A = this chain, B = another copy of it.
């Protein structure tokens, strides 16, 4: 508790669209933000770019940990009562939805957040590939966005620059995994930190 408790809290949610634990956290984090009147900002990034800059190896590069995580993902999805199937191609680069996200986000944080939730569902429930532009554009279309406009936005140099800037922002914020939540000077890694995030917001 400090003097800031009269201010609305700002929650920065850094994640990779291809991170199962980010999918597990997203909806719960949105609920908690709402409960505590906090403003939630979504920051998709490319985890491989961020951890490379932090000189860290990919989390699943080690057989013992890889075995563990694949089982833990299924068990955690069941624990959080979320539908889930690990996509056949995993891990996978998520640059396409991340690029379109930042274009949508410029006009409407709400629309971009809705798009992000749908991307998680398409990838982790329906198993669609994030590397296939058509899959991403169909999600945009379902949200009432013109497909041709979305395609132009997603493939623009500006979108690439926005994602590169987002990766850099994450690196500067000390992010080294996904999901990663920053509130004030506090950092929380993993869906497991949800109870500590709730406690922090409650006592702020």
Contact = CB atoms under 8 A, between A and B. Distances in A.
Contacts of A63: 54-55
Contacts of A79: 195-196, 199
A190 interface: yes
A195 B193 CA distance: 12
Interface string A175-188: 11100000000110
A65 B54 contact: yes
Contacts of A54: 62-65
A106 interface: no
A70 to B, nearest CB: 11
A62 B171 CA distance: 13
A75 interface: yes
Contacts of A186: 71, 75
A71 B65 CA distance: 24
A68 B174 CA distance: 8
Contact of A67 (B67, B174, B190): B174
Interface in A72-112: 72, 75-76, 79
Given A65-B176, A175-B64, A71 B187 contact: yes
Interface in A27-74: 54-57, 62-65, 67-68, 71-72
Nearest to A54: B64
22 contacts: A54-B65, A55-B62, A55-B63, A56-B62, A56-B64, A56-B65, A57-B57, A62-B176, A64-B174, A64-B175, A64-B176, A65-B176, A65-B177, A67-B174, A68-B174, A68-B176, A68-B189, A71-B186, A75-B186, A75-B196, A190-B192, A192-B193
